[in-house]
Chain A
Amino acid sequence: MSYTITLTINRVPRTLELDDPRITLLDLLRERLDLPGTKKGCDRGQCGACTILLDGRRVNACLALALSHDGAEILTIEGLAEGEALHPMQQAFIAHDAFQCGFCTPGQIMSAIGLVGEGQTGADPERVREGMSGNLCRCGAYRGITEAVVEAARAMAADGQGRAA
């Protein structure tokens, strides 16, 4: 049996035929749509490496059944930069050395953008640390991550981008 769903992925609407009901959004992106920027670290919602924006909210793509999200809008790390122009969060991650191996980084950045959109932390580093605690970084780049998110949150607020990822 096959299923047809539509998804808007990185602003491009797509109609997809799925031959298997078991496919998660994460495996859909990575294995079937050649969007491997979203990473699989645990596949169980325990590490945050697969964080994407689903209808504007950060979620773990590994625990989202693709079929169940028919009609949704998805933004992944590949869809973040507008042409050559990096998103302020991406710039801040580079400037603050907010990663080492880079494997958790797409999830961190998408989570950070989701966090700013949620509007609960402001530039309070302690609230940012708590809000980013769903993204493990085994290299231990947390200091840079927090600094980057605080800085980018300010830049995004100044730019009026708080809500629009």
Chain B
Amino acid sequence: MSETRQMRHGSSIGQPVTRRDGLLKVTGQARFAADNHPAGLLHAVLAVSRIARGRVAALDLPAARAHPGVVEVMVTANRLALALHPDDKSVPFSFKLDLLQDDRVRYAGQPIAVVIAATLEAATEAAALLAPRYEAGPVEVTLDAPGGYVPESVGVGDPGEMRHGDVEAGLRAAARRIEATYETPLQFHNAMEPHGVVAAWEGDALSLDMPTQGLALTRMRLAALLGIRAEDIHIRSPFIGGGFGSKLLSGPQVLGILAARLVGRPVKLVLTRAQMYGPVTHRSPTRQTLRLGAARDGALTAIHHHVRTATSRHDDFLEPSAGVSHTLYAAPAIATTNEAVRLDTGTPGFMRAPGEASGSIALESAIDEMAHACGMDPLEFRLRNYAEVEPVSGKPFSSKALRECYAEGAARFGWAGRPLAPRQMRDEDGLLVGWGVGTATFPAIMFQAEARAVLRRDGTGLVESGTHDMGQGAWTAFAQIGADSLGLDLDRLEFRAGHSDLPNAGIAGGSGHTATAGGAIHAAGAQAIARLTEIAVADPRSPLFGAGNVGVVARGGRLLRRDDESRGEAYADILARAGLDSVEGRGSAAADPAAAERYAMHAHGAVFAEVKVDPELGQIRATRLVGAFAAGRIINPRLVRSQYYGGMIWGLSFALHERAAMDPRTGRVMNADLAEYHVPVNADVPSVEAILVEEQDPHVNALGIKGVGEIGITGTAGAIANAIWHATGTRIRRFPVAIEELGR
């Protein structure tokens, strides 16, 4: 029902059209980076460090070089000089890189050599034959490592400490207090597509097939490293086989580019699955302590959210887990604090809902614990503490339909009648049943993007923006926005994306791509239409002559007088008469600082989970997930629903499955694969539903879009944790929930 309400008749926006890249993807014709095979291609394979700290003392280069088919082994000594040290960060969102600059090892899985051979088989074996010898130092890889520091900032420039009101006074005044510590694990993105590159040099020009969530930034980063002009770098990234934050900038792929330069031939370098557990960032473990106070009536008096997390010994990124406590629940006193420790690991980074995912499961668990302490239904407790304005900043929300999310989600799930006490429900087979709720939240972020729109004499349109499709449906959603902006039917629009030569579309991250690049496309289309209008209204031969004052409407490939839609003409006719092949518009979009000054801008949602738990064995299954989300304007409900499903399954994975087991003695991930690093399989997801709650936001941006890519993971993880408590009466505070926690 919400879906129909959001559709605008006669427009592409809001229509649940199927993916424009669907045909390519179901026929195997969608060429991902590693599917390319230029003539003369050689294969490069990384050798990576098996120690986490120390130096590489020796490599058996003769053995590797002697292996049949090997062309070259790239090590520190013969690696081409770079124009910029790999530790220098030249663009936003970049991290220090390990590009064979020296013999030092700073984490397990760090590249230490690259073997280039005629075949993949030969390169792979020769990399093994390098048999490195190391001088290894002692390592620290867990949050129990000694020391630590208080960071000035976390995430990307968020303050390391935030205080609003007097938390200690609030806690003292509280009738109910809880203090609990939650632990979240080390996680790796594990996109299905391994990071890879096919690199080919022609003189100083570089042609790349490489998945990236940030074409323009990647090009700038590479230009600075390689000392060549950005415009000489051509990156094709038409399909990204999942990114989740791990493909923002090229990391180890740079070694493939350098290898191609070294041997003077095109080179393909693809990481193995095991190699995706080191140099391509991760989510750090966190240990979060929540202290909450509440009055007798359930009103929160204080929230203190403290986070201990980790970054690498050599670089900085701190999972900003406490940020969710700034926005979600009203309390007169809120404090968030952070401490960090440096570990001998790769550098953490942006992993789907960085901060919000890990913070949400802790906060939502703590809120549930407090609801129980107050003897209140957890949904009622959340409504009791509903934030009418953003608690910490005091700003009004640009829009917030969270109350509707709670209501629609609860109704669909059948929340009413849930027993207050835990361990009250069983199914007909005796399995314990529990229901939990979690609030979802994610900020509405904008980056910067540009686009170009063209109306052509044949009546078709073209929109160009170097956008990124990693599964969100960018090809489709942006084409829908483009078609509407040009007043064309969707099948009359050509949309070009996924190439660094196109206008800079910013990054696909922070759930801000559709809003940002969509805004640029919308503006570009509007400018093209404005130019066409200028031509038509000034032309006495046009039925639109003189309509400048009343304005025109662009629809279905025609300009129409706003005051009399029976008078109008086709774009093609206007252009033909003017002797033009096309008119062009350009547009850009970026965050509006004035709006951000006035409003708090976030998407919200409510997730309801049912779990079943085997009472003796402790095995858990999330049997039902219902999420209701309000995220401003929905461009394509079919694709948005899929984004919510995917996010919710990530939430399920967070609560129940995924965890990298790093050996504290060596710093090696001992489950660096997909057999033992568990992500959910199909059978783990028997039922998932997403409700699109209507929300109109006139402030957030021109199109009213908030972004949907990450919010689904928030709320869901907590809802499942809370459902497990409700099923069993046992509150698990370490995630993912291990089988032994319940099977005892």
Contacts and interface: CB of A to CB of B under 8 A. Distances in A.
A136 B679 contact: yes
Given A27-B120, A41-B674, A139-B471, A36 B193 contact: no
B18 A97 contact: yes
Interface in A66-86: 76-78, 80-81, 86
Nearest to A110: B28
Interface in B472-524: 472-473
Contacts of B470: 100-101
Contact of A133 (B35, B190, B469, B681): B681
B435 interface: no
B639 interface: yes
Interface in B398-432: none
B685 A140 contact: yes
Interface stretch (B55-63, B98-106, B235-243): B235-243
B647 A78 contact: no
Nearest to B712: A140
Interface in A22-59: 22-23, 27, 30-31, 34-44, 46-47, 49
Contact of B37 (A31, A46, A130): A31
Interface in B344-359: none
A40 B646 contact: no
Given A36-B31, A140-B646, A143-B688, A103 B674 contact: no
B610 to A, nearest CB: 16
Contacts of A97: 18-19, 638-639, 641-642
A34 B37 contact: yes
B95 interface: no
A74 B121 CA distance: 22
A104 to B, nearest CB: 5
Contacts of B26: 77, 86, 90, 93-94, 99, 105, 109
B194 interface: yes
A102 B31 CA distance: 10
Interface secondary structure of B, over-half rule: loop
A78 B25 contact: no
B442 to A, nearest CB: 16
A46 B27 contact: no
A40 B34 contact: yes
A106 interface: yes
Interface in B285-342: none
Given A30-B35, A40-B34, A126-B686, A105 B273 contact: no
Interface residues of A, number: 61
Nearest to B689: A143
Contacts of B673: 42, 44, 46
A138 B683 contact: no
B660 interface: no
A28 to B, nearest CB: 11
Contacts of B120: 27, 31
Interface in B661-682: 673-675, 679-682
Contact of B18 (A49, A76, A94, A135): A94
A63 to B, nearest CB: 12
Interface in A109-136: 109, 125-126, 128-130, 132-136
Interface residues of B, number: 66
B119 interface: yes
A95 interface: yes
A23 B193 contact: no
A20 B119 contact: yes
B412 to A, nearest CB: 15
Contact of B683 (A30, A77, A133): A133
Nearest to A76: B28
A64 interface: no
Given A42-B273, A46-B675, A140-B650, A101 B241 contact: yes
B210 interface: no
B700 interface: no
Given A27-B121, A94-B18, A103 B242 contact: yes
B682 A103 contact: no
Contacts of A133: 681-683
Contacts of B28: 35-38, 76-78, 80, 106
Which of A34, A141, A144 has the most chain B CB within a 10 Å cutoff? A141
Contacts of B643: 100
A113 to B, nearest CB: 12
A21 B688 CA distance: 46
A60 to B, nearest CB: 12
Contacts of B228: none
Contacts of B37: 31, 34, 36
Contacts of A145: 682
Contacts of A126: 683, 686
B242 A101 contact: yes
B270 A42 contact: no
B104 to A, nearest CB: 29
A41 B18 contact: no
A153 interface: no
Given A41-B194, A100-B642, A103-B192, A130 B683 contact: yes
B683 A140 contact: no
B131 to A, nearest CB: 19
A20 B192 CA distance: 28
Which of B21, B29, B649, B682 has the most chain A CB within a 10 Å cutoff? B682
A139 B645 CA distance: 9
Interface in B240-290: 240-242, 244, 270, 272-273
Given A129-B682, A132-B682, A139-B242, A36 B646 contact: no
Contact of A94 (B22, B35, B682): B22
Which of B25, B125, B239 has the most chain A CB within a 10 Å cutoff? B25
Contacts of B244: 138
B181 to A, nearest CB: 29
Nearest to B472: A100
B32 A141 contact: no
A31 B21 CA distance: 24
Contacts of A130: 682-683
Given A77-B27, A94-B18, A140-B680, A103 B32 contact: yes
Contacts of A129: 682-683, 685-686
A83 B647 CA distance: 36
Which of B190, B240, B643, B645 has the most chain A CB within a 10 Å cutoff? B645
Nearest to B636: A97
Interface string B1-45: 000000000000000001101111111111110111100000100
B272 A138 contact: no
B685 A143 contact: yes
Nearest to B677: A46
A74 B36 CA distance: 22
B370 interface: no
Given A38-B28, A81-B27, A102-B30, A138 B679 contact: yes
Contacts of B162: none
A104 B192 contact: yes
Nearest to A102: B25
B191 A101 contact: yes
A138 B192 contact: yes
A22 B124 CA distance: 11
A46 to B, nearest CB: 4
A67 B302 CA distance: 68
Nearest to B276: A42
A160 B683 CA distance: 27
A81 B26 CA distance: 9
Closest 8 CB pairs of A and B: A37-B28, A100-B471, A103-B241, A140-B649, A101-B471, A102-B25, A77-B28, A36-B35
14 contacts: A30-B35, A39-B32, A40-B270, A41-B192, A41-B674, A86-B26, A90-B26, A93-B22, A102-B25, A136-B674, A136-B679, A138-B190, A140-B645, A142-B645
